[in-house]
Structure 1
Amino acid sequence: MDKKKGTLHLRKGMLKYLVAALSVCLVLTGCGGTNGSNGGTNGSNEPANTNQGAANKTNDTSEKSTDTDKSSGEKVTIELWGWGGTFQTKYAEIVLKEFEKEHPNIKVKYTVDQGGTDKLTTLIAGGTPPDVAILDRFMVGQWAAKGSLENLQQFVDIDDEVSADDYYPGVWAEANYKDQLYALPMSTDNRAIYYNKTLMKEAGLDPEKPPVTITELDSMAEKIFKKTANGSGYEQVGFIPWMNQTYLYTQSWNFGGEWTKGDELTPNDPQIVKALEWMVGYAKKYDMAKINKFNDVMGKTGINPFWTGKVGFVVDGNWILNDLTSNAKVKPTFEWGVAPMPSADGYPQTTWAGGHSWVMPKGAKHPKEAWELLKFIGGYKGTLLWAKRADAGNDISAMPAVNDEMKISENPNLKVFVDLMPVAHYRPVTPVGQFLWDETFRVQGLALNGKGEPKKLLDEVKKNVDNELKKLESK
């Protein structure tokens, strides 16, 4: 395999996968969504409940040995910082055990994440970080900018085992900062629209023709909304553009919005403004108070609103398919389907992806050995081993070749998500990524509740993020 660098990789990878995307016709902190019971992420990209009583445990996956330099021929112990609970147990047995078989000179000490990113930041500042750690890919740019991660480009430049072409374009791009690699993708996910065929049929719509455009979605949704007998709320809703995984980031790309222009952040891009205006239109037309009342009722069910059968269309991730087998409450009594999200007229259907990654924290004591572990667990072998676990559910791998090997496209519902991966967007790789994310939700809430006009609010976001960048640059 030829060795390539970040930007060149991305361009070539994009060309390769954008071709595949044409056949499809056709997005806080992360991601994303593997099955939470396996130590993955939920729909908001927040880590799932990971400690599960194992916060103080470590798991050495080979026999005890002395820490010495690799060049001596003796074993070197490196520390991996990861989620606890079932993830720790299974990952050590399925992936790390195999790594140690192939690398007899390296022993992996598994340390359970205790205190999240705050604790990891403290360890890095104190000069005692683990050699490898799990990190929401959305945070890579921010951590790289503040000098908390080792630059992996130095290893990629002399190692032809890692190539951008092995990953989906957006997934690889999110692991890079200023054309330098700082992480290897671990997992990914994306978003599509789930539609209730039964409600469509009852509304006189063709259940086999889900909406392709925003205009079609608006028209179909209107026919499904049904008020309660006393008219004080809704018995069922057609669509709510801020339910589940549909919020400003999601809809911005459906409207053709761009969050960056070169090195500049552009949260007030005209198409992003249009997306927020459209969302506000729903709040006004269907009455925010009545929608909130409906959402409160849905919240009390303890399951995803879509599975109640009371929602016509909802944007969500591939991970909610796991509810069908892991949640005893979810037993749909209606027909349903999955399709790419509708887009504004004239714009292609798309999605956005999140997920986690493996990084080498700044100050890692054994960088060479850590790189060997990184390229195994973040590469084809480790990714495939993890994908083959019995309870992988509806996970999507960050590597097309692994998805092909697992034949996950044979699942028609999951195929929708896999086919969208080559065109998946990703949140801006910036030192103020978290700040920008928080700002978008702040102004979204204000706009939906009639406390500001979309254009003015997003101009305010632009000013705030630019000021935040200036503060960081002056330090």
Structure 2
Amino acid sequence: MKKKSVETLQFKSKMIMFVVAALLVSIALTGCGGTNEASGTNTSNGNSKKTGDSTANGDDANSGADNGNSKDNGKQVTLDFWSWGGKFQQDYTKIVISEFEKSHPNIKVKYITEQGTEKLTTLIAGGTPPDVALLDRFMAGAWAAKGSLESLTPYLADGTVTADDYYPSVWAEGNYKNELYAMPFGTDNRAMYFNKTLMKEAGLDPEKPPTTISELDAAAEKIFKKTSSGYEQVGLIPWMNQGFLYTQGWNFGGEWAKDEELTPNDPQIVKALEWMTGYAKKYDMAKINNFNDVMGKTGINPFWTGKVGFVFDGNWILNDLINNAKVKPKFEWGVAPMPAEDGQAQSTWAGGWSWVMPKGAKHPKEAWELLKYIGGYEGTLLWGKRADAGNDITAMPKVNEELKIADNPKLKVFLDLMPTAHTRPVTPAGQKMWDETFRVTDLALNGKGEPKKLLDEAKKNVDNELKKLEAAK
């Protein structure tokens, strides 16, 4: 599931070398890993975000006041629909939008190729927004907080959409202050890819991947092979690919928020950063960087080179096996849940995209008809059934069951993690905290600060950002 970038360009450039080309993700918020526009999958690093504002009331939701062009009076309404262009536009129009128009003859959809969130913000501020737009789900809370989205909660009264239709964390990510602002569109999560061949060569049992951090450390150490300038192969680089501090923080049992307080300096998150920093010291950051440089020149995700023992990454890289001609693994490999610190439960975190109704949408009633179709069972199933769906996971368990995606054993690992997946905190300061995690990680890995002090500073910075945003309302 992948878009946006973080501060700390030096660190970002190194990390992007490890991410599959399809991960045009913005690590700024995303989650979610990157995003494949043709598939609608978020892999961004997450890259994901949040927003909210509630203006529609129950009467508006049911009456659909829209300048007289309502469904009830028989006049045809044209909805402006803002989403990705290219192949995605062609496929989505043919597979989903056309079917919606057939079942809603009074509504026509005018497809507008998205031009970035800044442009969308400008249209909303100018009172000329599209009726429905695609938005990184991680952004929903922040956009809601600044009043850029219409609340969808009043429309839920028709009973066609309920929280029970979606994975708990995915639904929660589209809510802000108990109001729904975003209909989920696709999801993704992270697991551990492991090289069975390298495990065998190191005298490890390839059918028993590590389940704890201590087991992972011990196994990884046996796989590292040095050269004169660096490494021929590595056991693990904790920050490679989707090994962000967010990822490792959860693997150590950390909490990024408690109630409404943001807690990037949670003791377990501090411990996670100390663990990551330990690898930079033990295995020499300069030598690791040399290895990363070599991997960056291959044009493929470093795991597929056969030179990496363990890596944390998303379900979307399974699509490399189909879409990237350079990826032809000549080694045995597997997928398993990411190891957790001893005593902690294994976990994952999910990202994804969403459909929203921008503030000031001209045809709210008809916009809701489109939203609940494309974000609900019918549209989700239509899109999930497309021929090149690859290894996508939908946000709806019922649809995933109908698509039988659990029949793919490697994808099933990710699917089984979805019911308990984490999502990044829904907060107006989500972008700031995401950026801060990359800033402090870069400093810590390069010996420019101690993890505890850096994360205390990050806490102060996100708290100040939150106060500033609250004061600006």
Is TM > 0.5 for Structure 1 vs Structure 2? yes
Superposition map of 1:60-459 within 5 A: 68-114=69-115, 116-156=116-156, 158-228=157-227, 230=228, 232-459=229-456
C-alpha distance in 2, partners of 1:272/1:376?
40
Do the aligned partners of 2:127 and 2:360 also contact (CA within 8 Å) in 1? yes
Superposition deviation, residue 70 in structure 1: 2.4
* Structure 1 residue matching 2:414: 3-state secondary structure: helix
Structure 1's unaligned 5+ residue stretches are 1-26, 48-65
Deviations 1:314-367 (A, max 9, x none): 000000000001000000000000000000001111100000000000000000
C-alpha change, 1:381 and 1:32, in structure 2 (3 Å) is farther
Q: Normalized against structure 2, the TM-score is what?
A: 0.88
C-alpha distance in 2, partners of 1:438/1:253?
17
Superposition deviation, residue 67 in structure 1: 8.9
Do the aligned partners of 1:35 and 1:322 also contact (CA within 8 Å) in 2? no
C-alpha distance in 1, partners of 2:37/2:205?
35
Do the aligned partners of 2:43 and 2:351 also contact (CA within 8 Å) in 1? no
* Structure 1 residue matching 2:338: 3-state secondary structure: coil
1:56 matched residue in structure 2: none
1:28 matched residue in structure 2: 28
Do the aligned partners of 1:197 and 1:337 also contact (CA within 8 Å) in 2? yes
> How much is the aligned-residue C-alpha RMSD, in angstroms?
1.4
C-alpha distance in 2, partners of 1:37/1:360?
22
Do the aligned partners of 1:196 and 1:309 also contact (CA within 8 Å) in 2? yes
Do the aligned partners of 1:32 and 1:42 also contact (CA within 8 Å) in 2? yes
C-alpha distance in 1, partners of 2:78/2:223?
60
C-alpha distance in 1, partners of 2:120/2:407?
40
C-alpha distance in 2, partners of 1:204/1:102?
60
* Structure 2 residue matching 1:162: 3-state secondary structure: coil
C-alpha distance in 2, partners of 1:248/1:38?
27
Amino acid paired to 1:320? I
C-alpha change, 1:451 and 1:101, in structure 2 (3 Å) is same
Superposition deviation, residue 37 in structure 1: 4.0
Amino acid paired to 1:126? G
Superposition deviation, residue 34 in structure 1: 5.5
Of all paired residues, the percent bearing the same amino acid is 75
Deviates more, 1:122-131 or 1:35-44: 35-44
Deviations 1:163-207 (A, max 9, x none): 000000110010000111001000100000000000000000000
Do the aligned partners of 2:140 and 2:173 also contact (CA within 8 Å) in 1? yes
Q: Normalized against structure 1, the TM-score is what?
A: 0.88
C-alpha distance in 1, partners of 2:322/2:294?
24
Structure 2's unaligned 5+ residue stretches are 1-26, 49-66
* Structure 1 residue matching 2:45: 3-state secondary structure: coil
Superposition deviation, residue 33 in structure 1: 5.0
C-alpha distance in 2, partners of 1:176/1:407?
29
Deviations 1:207-264 (A, max 9, x none): 0000000000000000000001x2x200000000000000100000000000111111
Do the aligned partners of 1:169 and 1:422 also contact (CA within 8 Å) in 2? yes
Amino acid paired to 1:446? L
* Structure 2 residue matching 1:129: 3-state secondary structure: coil
Amino acid paired to 1:93? K
Q: Which protein has the bigger strand share?
A: 2
C-alpha distance in 1, partners of 2:191/2:443?
26
Superposition deviation, residue 470 in structure 1: 1.0
Amino acid paired to 1:178? K
2:462 equivalent to 1:461: no
